[in-house]
């Protein structure tokens, strides 16, 4: 009995610790919608071009992803599969973890389940949380992942934030001065990128959306089936009700 109590107590503590996550780090919120296929397609393209050099999605298969997000196989193969991988294969990469460990200090983890581990808000904030820090090997640090081993691979798009971006702030208008205060994100850039901040945020939302889908691919199917299941239950209710009435008819 005592050990059961201990286990229960421990699991409460760990889930609390998990919920607390980044401690005092504030996150920006993002609304993901895994039914938004154009967004998933843009996210998949961006992920393939900017992330798959280092990160695999090795629990997913190209073919399944192509079908789910609505890209014909031949287009997917021509544009979003590099090297000699085939559409039926798992989305693995060639980089050996041991070499990556030497280059980055930590191997780039597989990202299939990262959205379930970290949550969309964390990912959205992380990918918008890089800033200039000359003391780090890649010259960048990250507000939600301190001393991160990953370079800011999207610097050409976002630009390089000169100081810690402010995340998690609610934008509002100061009633006295009329100035917008607490707007989230980067305040000043050391180098500018090719995208406007809003454009970059939208692109990152697409990518987080894609990672959210990859972490839970069957959810798309379940959501599609759900109305039919409910309809079936409603229809089943009628004979079940009539049968019940029939059985109990003679019992007084
Ligand atoms: C040049 C290689 C490289 C590229 C390209 C790259 N990453 Fe990374 N990434 C890393 C490394 C290395 C780490 C591990 C960092 C650490 O643990 O300090 C990492 C960590 C991460 C993490 C944190 C995972 C976790 O839970 O600890 C996420 C999320 C992530 N990368 C997303 C991306 C996305 C999205 C892209 C594409 C825009 C990308 N990465 C491109 C090298 C890379």
Which tens digit of pLDDT belongs to each residue from 175-214? Answer: 777 766 656 688 899 999 999 999 999 999 999 999 999 9
Extract the tokens encoding 108: 């780039």
Our count of domains for the chain comes to 1
Mean pLDDT of the chain: 88
| 19-28, 29-38, 48-57, 222-231: the lowest-pLDDT one | 19-28
Interatomic CA distance for residues 248 and 242, integer angstroms: 10
Q: Which residues pair with residue 192 across a beta bridge?
A: 159
Domain that holds residue 175: 24-228
Positions at the binding site for heme c: 51, 54-55
* Distance of CA 104 from the midpoint of ligand 1 (Å): 10
CA angle 13, 14, 16 (to 5 degrees): 65
**Residue 205 contacts residue 32 (beta carbons within 8 Å):** yes
- Asked whether residue 54 is domain-assigned, the answer is yes
Domain of 172, CATH number, reads 1.10.760.10
| Residue matched to tokens 């693995």 | 92
User: What is the number of the ligand 1 atom nearest to the C-alpha of 53?
Assistant: 5
Q: Is residue 238 domain-resident?
A: no
Cα–Cα distance measured from residue 99 to residue 24, given in angstroms and rounded to the nearest whole number: 33
CA of 224 to the centre of ligand 1 (A): 32
Residue with the smallest CA separation from ligand 1 atom 14 is 108
Is the residue at 15 inside a domain?
Answer: no
Distance of alpha carbon 56 from alpha carbon 33, whole angstroms:
23
57 lines ligand 1 (CB under 6 A): no
């Amino acid at each position: 009995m005592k050990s059961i109590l201990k286990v229960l107590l421990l699991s409460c503590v760990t889930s609390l610790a998990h919920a607390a996550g980044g401690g005092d780090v504030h996150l920006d919120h993002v609304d993901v919608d895994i039914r938004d296929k154009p967004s998933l397609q843009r996210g998949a393209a961006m992920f393939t071009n900017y992330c798959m050099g280092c990160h695999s999605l090795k629990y997913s298969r190209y073919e399944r992803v192509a079908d789910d997000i609505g890209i014909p196989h031949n287009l997917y193969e021509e544009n979003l599969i590099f090297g000699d991988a085939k559409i039926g294969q798992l989305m693995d990469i060639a980089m050996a973890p041991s070499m990556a460990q030497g280059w980055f200090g930590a191997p780039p983890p597989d990202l299939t389940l990262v959205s379930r581990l970290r949550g969309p808000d964390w990912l959205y904030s992380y990918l918008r949380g890089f800033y200039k820090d000359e003391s780090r090997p890649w010259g960048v640090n990250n507000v939600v992942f301190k001393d991160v081993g990953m370079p800011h691979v999207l610097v050409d798009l976002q630009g390089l934030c000169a100081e810690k971006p402010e995340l998690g702030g609610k934008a509002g208008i100061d009633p006295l001065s009329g100035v917008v205060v607490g707007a989230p994100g980067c305040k000043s850039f050391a180098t500018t990128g090719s995208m406007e901040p809003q454009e970059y945020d939208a692109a990152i939302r697409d990518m987080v959306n894609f990672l959210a889908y990859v972490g839970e691919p069957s959810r798309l199917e379940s959501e599609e089936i759900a109305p039919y299941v409910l309809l079936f239950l409603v229809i089943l209710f009628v004979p079940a009700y009539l049968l019940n009435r029939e059985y109990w008819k003679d019992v007084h």
